[in-house]
Structure 1
Amino acid sequence: MTSAVIANAIVNGCGVIGLVVAMLALHRRDARSPLTGRFLIALGIVALLFLVRSAAWLTGSSLLDDLSVIPAAAIPFGALIVTEGMLRRHAPRAIKLAVIVGAVVLGLGGALGLERFDTPYAIALALFQLAGFAACAFLLATRDRHSLMASENRAVDRMTIGAVVVLPFIVTDFGALMPDMPVKLGALGALLVVTAMLIAGSSGEARWHAVLLTVLRLVSSTLLGLAAAFVAPDVDAAQVMRFCAIAVSGVLAIGLMTDTLRSFLESRAPGVLSSVAISPATTRDQLIAELLRHPLFESARRYREDELAAYDPLLLRNRLASHRVLRRADAPWGHLPIDPAAERLASLMAAVSATHLVVLSSDPVDILALAVPVTSADPATETAIALVQRILIMTA
């Protein structure tokens, strides 16, 4: 078994893992959507291709190699049904017939072993796949934009770009067309597309965070592949490319798994905002009591004005009136370090080991002092604390 075969099998195996994870993520987001069903069919076809093909390479089975052509020929069909779902329109009848007939003819031909007519069959299959993607991209690009919502148009634009970007990766899978290619990159292209697809489904700020994280993964995995390649003796350009393809594919697949698992676990964890949303409390005091049972607020203690006599509540009123949440790290909160009220607030936080003071009322003084561990002090936690403060103020 050559290094090229091993590299191809690993990259395709990573593609299978990534596509299956993407299917699970899409199903969890909206299992009842008709478009989700279309995406699952399309991704399932591609995943089946990568699975059968990698198994054929690892086992040397000519039967599996023949059967792998069936899902390969069905890929344009999967792309077309996704295109129809996104446009909410049927594709022209001629395109539908061409995709179905081509899938049946080329698929049956592969199952019967006709791909042994290496170059002609590979060219026919490659042209069929490329024509299918080109047709889908054309339908997406020439759509009636007024018939779709703005969010749908943005999604279609991204999908059009994805269809164009994936074409060069698909071509590398055809050895008859690119016999000198060290490793087949079709699975890597699929991983990039599903990663971009899941990122596009995020909110604006989260989307940019995910893009930056993906870029970091791509750069770091490429550097890792380069470093690993030079460990092997007699390294050449082909070997470097194989190592890089393996590293990038593996990191993308692992990234999809970790992101999906983290999202799943976070959705099951009792978030502070979800706790507020489902709380049966009818008064602010009841809501505060509910919050104090949440892990984020379990260390919190409420201080009313009569408990703060040592800190001059009258002096604190003016300062607390202009603040909602005070962070110890931000002291003296825009005031002079020798400001009497700022000094007293800093002293209070030090005395009770608090990292945050949540202002419930400035007149009379009513605050929550809580300690947020440094491992939990991320922007999401800060936002949750600020939102809880606003909710508590409005329920006064």
Structure 2
Amino acid sequence: MAPSLIADSFVSLAALGGLLILIGAIRDFDAASPLTRRFLFGLHVLSLLMVSRVLSWWTGLFIFEAATVMAAGLVPLATVILAEGLLRRHAPKVTKWIVAGGAATFIVLALVPAIFAEPWRSVMLFAYQFVSFALAAHMAVTRDRASLSKAENQAVDRVALSLLLILPLFVTDFRSPYIDMPVRLGGVAVLFLCWLLISLGQRTVSHRDTLASFVILLSVALVGAVAIGIENGLGTAALVRTATVVVCASLLGVIWKDGITLRAEQRRQSLIRHLAEDRIDDPLGFLRELQNHPLVEGALQLGEPELVDFDLPALKALFIDQPLLRTAQIQGLTETDSEQLAWLLEKYEATHVMLVSLHPFRLVALNMPSVSATPGAETELKVVQRMALLISQRSAGHD
């Protein structure tokens, strides 16, 4: 089994993993918007390319070879379609004719057996992809920045940045008797694209931070690969393959971690959506809906009947003074109040208790240990508590 085949397959499968993570993250946000559909089209085309090329290498079946050529021919079309959506303007007619005509041409050429089509088909495909990517990059560079928002400009900048990396690395995907590359590097470019796009969900991360992270990751991975190569006496080709595999594995791990971070952020924002979207004219309905949200799932409503074993006057005074209490605050209270709060938290296996109504007196107990490490989520919980209390006061006033 050729070492280059193993390395090429790993790189392509790692790129496929990054694409699937990115597709899942995008679908979680807004799968129905026109721009999202353009993104997903391009990502699905790249995914098809990664899968078909690996199956083609390992099976040698014509159907997978044809699918690989078709997908490769669709990549430039998907790139320009995405560029139009991001820039909110149509591509020049010449660009449209080139990418649309090229895609149709390679769908037809994909059906020609390799024995008749190579090497001229690969040369044509390389020229077509290079020209198309250059045209898409030109659209991004010459855009009217004033007509786009800051977020839109940031997205365009990151796609354009990825194209600058994709262009040279995709050259290595075309085998030539004159240039013998130890491994195809197109998958590395795809992984970098996935990282740039998934980092768009982290608004506080700048281009400089992203590039600095990439340089650090790349440097560490290369140092690790060199150490492995020296220890095992690897030649130049084997060292390049090892470095590429290490870089791809590292990038995939970072993309997976960022994907988890985005999903966690989405779950955290569910409390804000609860305030923005749910009814505010029904205190009990508001609290019941609150119990369905992931951050406070299973929250218990405690009225005076459930609190009959406690010193109600002292408990009311405590929560009027501090409407949201958590486990960490027990030590800072008076002896009587700390005993009351400790018993309350222990009895209902809660980490937080908040006041949601004075008339009638009602508390909500919930178990959310992760909040201790996420101050933003606890701030949102304070907002929910205040909103619930205001709704109950408004309802009492109407009555």
- TM value normalised by structure 1: 0.73
Quick one: structure 1 residues 184 and 365, their matched pair in 2 at CA, closer, same or farther if it must change by over 3 Å? same
The answer (yes or no) to whether the contact 1:326–1:356 under 8 Å persists in 2 is: yes
The residue type equivalent to 2:136 in the other structure is C
2:369 to 367, 374, 377: 374
Structure 1 vs Structure 2 CA RMSD: 4.8
Counterpart in 1 of 2:170?
Answer: 170
Partners in 2 of 1:302 and 1:237 — Cα distance? Answer: 73
Quick one: structure 1 residues 64 and 25, their matched pair in 2 at CA, closer, same or farther if it must change by over 3 Å? same
Partners in 2 of 1:284 and 1:365 — Cα distance? Answer: 11
The answer (yes or no) to whether the contact 1:291–1:297 under 8 Å persists in 2 is: no
How far is 1:302 from its partner? 5.3
Is 1:242 equivalent to 2:241 in the alignment? yes
Counterpart in 1 of 2:337?
Answer: 345
Quick one: structure 1 residues 228 and 385, their matched pair in 2 at CA, closer, same or farther if it must change by over 3 Å? farther
How far is 1:240 from its partner? 4.2
Secondary structure (helix, strand or coil) at the match of 1:368 reads strand
Quick one: structure 1 residues 251 and 387, their matched pair in 2 at CA, closer, same or farther if it must change by over 3 Å? farther
Counterpart in 2 of 1:147?
Answer: 147
Counterpart in 1 of 2:203?
Answer: 204
Query: Which stretch of the first structure deviates more once superposed, 225-234 or 190-199?
Result: 225-234
**Can you list the C-alpha shifts for 1:305-339, whole angstroms capped at 9, x where unaligned?**
9953685976x58xx54x4533332566xxxx6xx
Partners in 2 of 1:236 and 1:176 — Cα distance? Answer: 21
1:393 to 374, 389, 392: 389
The answer (yes or no) to whether the contact 1:225–1:243 under 8 Å persists in 2 is: no
Partners in 2 of 1:216 and 1:348 — Cα distance? Answer: 54
The answer (yes or no) to whether the contact 1:171–1:178 under 8 Å persists in 2 is: no
The residue type equivalent to 2:43 in the other structure is L
Correspondence list, 1:216-255, <5 A: 222=221, 226=225, 229=228, 234-250=233-249, 252-253=251-252
Counterpart in 2 of 1:4?
Answer: 4
Correspondence list, 1:287-306, <5 A: 287-288=286-287, 296=297, 298=299, 301=302
**Can you list the C-alpha shifts for 1:225-253, whole angstroms capped at 9, x where unaligned?**
74995699543454344344335435655
How far is 1:355 from its partner? 3.6
Quick one: structure 1 residues 57 and 148, their matched pair in 2 at CA, closer, same or farther if it must change by over 3 Å? same
The answer (yes or no) to whether the contact 2:74–2:103 under 8 Å persists in 1 is: yes
The residue type equivalent to 1:194 in the other structure is C
How many residues were matched structurally?
379
The residue type equivalent to 1:368 in the other structure is L
Is 1:83 equivalent to 2:75 in the alignment? no
Quick one: structure 1 residues 360 and 373, their matched pair in 2 at CA, closer, same or farther if it must change by over 3 Å? closer
The answer (yes or no) to whether the contact 2:15–2:187 under 8 Å persists in 1 is: yes
Correspondence list, 1:177-196, <5 A: 179-196=179-196
State the percentage of identical aligned residues: 27
How far is 1:5 from its partner? 0.9
Partners in 2 of 1:297 and 1:41 — Cα distance? Answer: 39
1:358 to 351, 354, 357: 354
The residue type equivalent to 2:71 in the other structure is P
Partners in 1 of 2:164 and 2:49 — Cα distance? Answer: 20
Partners in 1 of 2:271 and 2:88 — Cα distance? Answer: 38
Counterpart in 2 of 1:130?
Answer: 130
**Can you list the C-alpha shifts for 1:178-208, whole angstroms capped at 9, x where unaligned?**
83432212122112212321331x2625999
How far is 1:142 from its partner? 0.9
The answer (yes or no) to whether the contact 2:299–2:364 under 8 Å persists in 1 is: no
Quick one: structure 1 residues 292 and 3, their matched pair in 2 at CA, closer, same or farther if it must change by over 3 Å? closer
How far is 1:139 from its partner? 0.8
Secondary structure (helix, strand or coil) at the match of 1:204 reads coil
The answer (yes or no) to whether the contact 1:9–1:55 under 8 Å persists in 2 is: no
Quick one: structure 1 residues 158 and 180, their matched pair in 2 at CA, closer, same or farther if it must change by over 3 Å? same
- TM value normalised by structure 2: 0.72
Partners in 2 of 1:85 and 1:292 — Cα distance? Answer: 39
The answer (yes or no) to whether the contact 1:122–1:174 under 8 Å persists in 2 is: yes
Partners in 1 of 2:26 and 2:158 — Cα distance? Answer: 17
The residue type equivalent to 2:341 in the other structure is M
The answer (yes or no) to whether the contact 2:198–2:258 under 8 Å persists in 1 is: no
Q: Identify unmatched segments of 5+ residues in structure 1.
A: none
Partners in 1 of 2:125 and 2:288 — Cα distance? Answer: 66
Partners in 1 of 2:228 and 2:204 — Cα distance? Answer: 36
Partners in 1 of 2:387 and 2:237 — Cα distance? Answer: 60
The answer (yes or no) to whether the contact 1:66–1:115 under 8 Å persists in 2 is: no
How far is 1:271 from its partner? 5.7
